[in-house]
Structure 1
Amino acid sequence: MIPILLAALLAPSTPETVRAAGNPILSDGRYFPTDPAPLVDGDTLWILAGRDEAPEGVNDFIMNEWQLLSTKDPASGVWRHDPAIARPEAVFAWAEPGRAYAGQMVKGRDGRFYLYAPVLQRGGGAKDRFAIGVAVADRPTGPWRDAHPSGPIISQQTPVANDIQNIDPSVLIDDAKGGDGRVYIYWGTFGRLRAMELAADMVTPKGPERVVTGATGFFEAPWIMKRRGTYYLLYAANNAGPDSPCTPTLYHACQAYASAPSPMGPWTYRGVVLRPVSSTTSHAGAVEFKGRWYLAYHTADATGGGHFRRSVAIDPMRWDDSVSPPAIRPVTPTKAPAPPPRPTRNVALGAFATASNAPGPVQYWIAALNDGVVRTSPLPPDMWGNWTQANPPSAWIEYRWPAPVTLNASRIRFFADHPAGASEGVAPPAAWHLEYWDKGWRRIAARYPTGIDGFQTVRFPTVTTRCLRAVMEASGMNGRHAGLAVQEWEALSPGAAAPTPRPSVAPKSC
């Protein structure tokens, strides 16, 4: 007899109808669906997703279950939400609870549905216990049962020993035109990508396990698909740098892609499909539905969203068939209509930001200085910073406007992971001050607090300028200095007005 608790875990939750005005599909913050994996079955588009459950300010992937979104017309905005369709410990007797990471659901040639799920293996002795199991069901909503009860089909110990983290599976049944019906699985993270053939039963590794190369910048989240005889591999890339076509900062990722003439390659990098979004992670899947292609991905744009509270979005994906092989055109993410921004005194929102260490270490992101976002527990790309192994005794950050602005106050929010006076890590500045440009840099006389408990406010008589600097002196001793970091820096005018957009190109120097 199934225990009452397990029966409750296996029982499907009540679905509800959602009417989305745009992206993200679930926007009210009650559920955070993440890591989307789309699937078409007949006249319905399904999206398998995990569920982010991290409390506000907790930087951890707390994910206990998978859920589903489905629609018969993405443009209608009408979706069905099936929460809690499966949990690792309820489906796999050998799995621990939690860590219901990115999986994929496919429809087998036998008409049943197969869920490829990365979960934590209980015991086993592997250095990294993430393993990939397969569940099977007669319907996408379940109930799901283990299709391979003897254990995972992929781990660090099976089918052959590997030393990668075995997550993010993506599966292709090559039934499209010119295909042979064979089954292929791809998986990996942290820059290491693997592929392998599965037997027709959808669960037995047929091998050999192959190292995939040619996917420039690969970080994680592979997605395999086929169109018109060409194989395409989408993936999260984070080859970061100021001139990178992917991302300026290491923690963010773009969606890049490669193509190949066969499921096992050789793969050729082709470009970027989706630039970094509001969440640091990027996970996407693409599918053709009723003659149109769609890209499902996640962002941090829902109410209460964040890097660990992500939500699924979907937009059309278009092809350029004038080239060979056909190219995927870049996808521009959309959002649900929002009310006009409130008037604000913060004219920094319309400034171009630069710094003494521009372009800066790739773990930080200078665009975060004036994005209007302050997080409870920020990650490095949520701030400007200058930490390296050898930090300078001083640094500055600067705003430039296309036209002069009038200011009478400023607010700055410092970040620190070491106490005041430290000579290592990131610490509050020992001192700082503001300067404005008037045929030269002129210091603003004021009181300059250096705390890290919220915004530090400076008020001063009005000045009109096109450039403003915050000059910071680092703490330290004996020639060693701590790094400096700022989450947000506001430049305040005497009166409020509608915010102006940031310049698309840098204004002329001061």
Structure 2
Amino acid sequence: MKKRAKIFLGFSVGLVFICSISCDEKPKENKNTEKSGGKKYLTSPLIEDLFTADPSAHVFENKIYIYPSHDIDAEIPENDNGDHFAMKDYHVYSMDSIGGKVTDHGMVLDVSDVPWAKRQMWAPDAAYKDGTYFLYFPAKDANDIFRIGVATSDTPYGPFKPQKEPILGSFSIDPAVFTDTDGSTYMYFGGIWGGQLQRWTNGIYDSEGSMTDLEVDSLPALSCKVAKLSSNMLKFDEPVRDVIILDSLGQELRTGDYDRRFFEGSWMHKYHGKYYFSYSTGDTHYLAYAIGESPLGPLTYAGHFMTPVQGWTTHHSIIESNGKWYLFYHDTELSGKTWLRNIKVTELEHLPDGTLKMIYP
């Protein structure tokens, strides 16, 4: 799989060379959905004055709030560890409805505010309970190990005050928090390669990583992790477990199943009593999903629902608003650079048989 990483990285670098435009940290205004050369995009960027990615959207207080990561150009060469994704703070955005004006509520948390965090504040998520809003975020600690922290606020737009320590037992990246109809709340997390998930296969951080789990195609694929959150939403209430994805024959997906296996960027939503676990396949650039009867799994693989975006990564969220479902995602329309992204939204359709309609970004 490492060889696959370099092949796709080389492709993306070549694409950047062909498509890149001159830009600094602030994107230039561009309201067109068609670029020179005839390239067309399904939707336009929601935000054009900052580079944003990994949008976690939620409906709070009858508004749509978006919690993205904030891309910056740190002039770090691209590598498999993702050091060029050097994000260091978060902004919160809101909109009254899809298609409406997007409001920037400003910077709500900086890495310098977090006592335990050193660098790389990647994709966050948010939740609400009993009058408090929670912002969950990954960052590297003093030892360059990804942990997941939590910060709180009285409002959905912050600012957020971080806890002094990361969540005990947390690791890797991409926290996604789902509250079920019974009030139970779960955190899904994990990402391989730069997300370090392969370094935790024995429950203890291995600085060299477990390359066997990434390179032996016949092994069961590394799984996303899930843990139930405590009543105060600040810690895990039970041991971390695997989110098992099965094929149609009831067998676990394999490491070599690049088009279907979990890589990063998980999300959970519930539709007609079923649990829809969606995620990025990473190096093959699809959004895929699996359906189950429990938020803890196991889940059965159901297919792709989004083809690759422009740019290396695909990271999304799914919400229901005013009776319709929407997918928030990102691409690199404004910059052409994999580490300088822009967030977008489009409608998501559940078909009569319960599957998701394919989206072509």
Q: Tell me if both proteins adopt one fold, taking TM over 0.5 as the criterion.
A: yes
Whole-Å Cα distance in 2 between the matches of residues 213 and 89 of structure 1? 36
CA 1:142–1:121 in structure 2 vs 1: closer, same or farther (change >3 Å)?
A: same
> In structure 1, which of residues 231, 235, 246 is the aligned counterpart of residue 279 of structure 2?
235
SS at match of 2:99: helix
- Alignment of 1:170 with 2:198, yes or no, is no
> In structure 1, which of residues 153, 157, 160 is the aligned counterpart of residue 167 of structure 2?
153
Per-residue deviation, residues 190-243 of structure 1 (Å, max 9, x unmatched): 1441111111111121112111221641100111121221111110014xxxxx
CA 1:287–1:19 in structure 2 vs 1: closer, same or farther (change >3 Å)?
A: farther
Whole-Å Cα distance in 2 between the matches of residues 252 and 66 of structure 1? 28
Whole-Å Cα distance in 2 between the matches of residues 307 and 269 of structure 1? 28
Per-residue deviation, residues 40-95 of structure 1 (Å, max 9, x unmatched): 0132111111111025784311211111221112224x2112332211331x2111
- Alignment of 1:70 with 2:84, yes or no, is no
Shift of 1:327: 1.4
Report the TM-score when normalising by structure 2.
0.72
Report the TM-score when normalising by structure 1.
0.51
- Asked whether the 8 Å contact 2:316–2:328 carries over to 1, the reply is yes
How many pairs does the alignment contain?
276
- The runs of 4+ residues in structure 1 deviating greater than 4 Å are 18-22, 55-58
Gaps of 5+ in 1: 1-17, 160-164, 239-250, 334-510
State the structure with bigger RCO (CA 8 A, min sep 6), 1 or 2: 2
Compare the two structures and name the one with the higher helix fraction: 2
Shift of 1:283: 0.2
Compare the two structures and name the one with the higher strand fraction: 1
Which position in structure 1 is the counterpart of 2:286? 254
Letter of the 1:80 counterpart? T
Whole-Å Cα distance in 2 between the matches of residues 167 and 284 of structure 1? 14
Per-residue deviation, residues 118-165 of structure 1 (Å, max 9, x unmatched): 011235xxxx6110011110112212112x43x1114xxx27xxxxx5
Whole-Å Cα distance in 2 between the matches of residues 105 and 39 of structure 1? 8
> In structure 1, which of residues 31, 35, 50 is the aligned counterpart of residue 54 of structure 2?
35
- Asked whether the 8 Å contact 1:95–1:122 carries over to 2, the reply is yes
What are the within-5 Å matches in structure 2 for residues 16-27 of structure 1? 22-27=43-48
SS at match of 1:218: coil
Pair member with larger Rg: 1
- Alignment of 1:181 with 2:183, yes or no, is yes
- Alignment of 1:106 with 2:106, yes or no, is no
- Asked whether the 8 Å contact 1:20–1:26 carries over to 2, the reply is no
What are the within-5 Å matches in structure 2 for residues 455-466 of structure 1? none
Whole-Å Cα distance in 2 between the matches of residues 145 and 57 of structure 1? 29
What CA RMSD, in Å, does the superposition of the two structures yield over aligned residues? 2.1
Per-residue deviation, residues 89-124 of structure 1 (Å, max 9, x unmatched): 31x21112x31100101112x02110111011235x
Per-residue deviation, residues 366-385 of structure 1 (Å, max 9, x unmatched): xxxxxxxxxxxxxxxxxxxx
SS at match of 1:89: helix
Letter of the 2:57 counterpart? P
Identity of aligned residues (%): 29
> In structure 2, which of residues 132, 137, 142 is the aligned counterpart of residue 122 of structure 1?
142
Whole-Å Cα distance in 1 between the matches of residues 187 and 97 of structure 2? 29
SS at match of 1:319: coil
Which position in structure 2 is the counterpart of 1:52? 71
Letter of the 1:294 counterpart? Y
CA 1:262–1:20 in structure 2 vs 1: closer, same or farther (change >3 Å)?
A: farther
- Alignment of 1:299 with 2:301, yes or no, is no
